[in-house]
Amino acid sequence: MLVLEDGRSFTGAAYGARGTTVGEAVFCTAMTGYQETLTDPSYHRQVVVMTAPHIGNTGVNDEDVESRRIWVSGFVVRDPARRPSSWRSLRVLEDELADQGVVGISGVDTRALTRHLRERGAMRAGVFSGDALREPTTGRRLEPSELLVRVLDAPVMAGADLAGEVTTPEPYVVEAVGEPRRGVDGRPMTVVALDLGIKSRTPWHLAQRGVRVHVLPATATTEQVLALSPHGVFYSNGPGDPAAAEHEVGVLRDVLARRLPFFGICYGNQLLGRALGLGTYKLVYGHRGVNQPVMDTATGSVEITAHNHGFAVDAPIGEPFDTPFGAAEVSHWCLNDRVVEGLRCLDAPAFSVQYHPEAAAGPHDAGYLFDRFCDLMAAPDRTPDTPSPASPSRATAEETD
């Protein structure tokens, strides 16, 4: 049984591990990439509802994982595949969920559930199966109202500082692939990436561009970042409320004050907003999927992008605004609801986007952002709004029309 915090409940069949799980119920509109979704640390403490009806068709492999484990608290699907049918499949999805202790439910009317969350907003939910559905001493089946008590005891997402729960326990290095790219000082280009819930595909993209990436825990200090003499600093995606991330914002302000090139995605975008003095707020049901249209204000082009966020930056769209580090502006916004999807500093080498340019899983429209970051590190006196002569030209709005 699935029980929402407003009292609505859904029955279905146990899927994955049996037992109890609670978390924030959210829906993901991606039709592919369920393995990347499950292993995305940004979904920590969330019960994920998949809107695509058939899940598990391609099984599980060892190449598409984005971190060291499955992070979702619970998994809700409509029609699980009876057997996988992919030459890359090594294991069955339900077995993988069970092995990692992820409690799920299948046979749920996910269309009705998604409509409910869209209209009422993301909310706490619990999934109960097996012995968790019965009173321990008498074996009596528990009523939804009795299970609701456990749901209401779960913590809410607002105010949650979760990066420390998903970050790497120890620093590690992803070496550059092929000939290293050189910085303006002639040294091999080096990036320090703060792991706030990083996906493995992100440092891979930088490494493919000849950049060496030092991945540090979220608790890393300014001194630890500077000790590595980086050409740039990167903030990853991650779970939780950006308003609670005081330490990470403090380090980022030190980075901006030293004019170190900075690039942030998702959670990193929200933290750049906070470092610039902007506020953040919780979205009603968030953006989660690989089909979100985003407008690039500099070119007028539209990118189809991968998203996973429940919070957003509060910033004016269409006009520059002042910050402690000079002027800045909104660089991207969502065509569905005008949510801010990117920030660009006009007087400092720093920018960020709210979506996933590493495209794991998702479209590749935003891959150029890694090139933009490399351009900044190669000539840090530039700012992100200055076109790079080495970058490929992009279609304008008129050309697109």
Cβ neighbors of 112 (< 8 A, separation 6 or more) are 10
96: which DSSP letter?
H
* Residue 42 labelled as part of a binding site: yes
3-state secondary structure of 191: strand
177: which DSSP letter?
P
- β pairing state of 123-128 and 2-4: antiparallel
Structure tokens at 135: 């009173």
User: Please, what's the b/e burial string for 144-167 (b: 16 or more CB within 10 A of its CB; e: otherwise)?
Assistant: beebbebbeebeebeebbbbebbb
Structure tokens at 176: 């550059």
* Residue 238 labelled as part of a binding site: yes
* Residue 277 labelled as part of a binding site: no
In this structure, the dihedral spanned by the alpha carbons of residues 12, 15, 20 and 22, taken in order and rounded to 10 degrees, is: -80
Structure tokens at 360: 């794991």
Known catalytic residues? 266, 356, 358
CA 222, 228, 232, 238 torsion-angle sign: negative
Biggest CA pair distance of the chain: 74
* Residue 308 labelled as part of a binding site: yes
- Residue ranges for the known binding site for L-glutamine are 42, 238, 240, 270, 308, 310-311
- Residue ranges for the known binding site are 42, 238, 240, 270, 308, 310-311
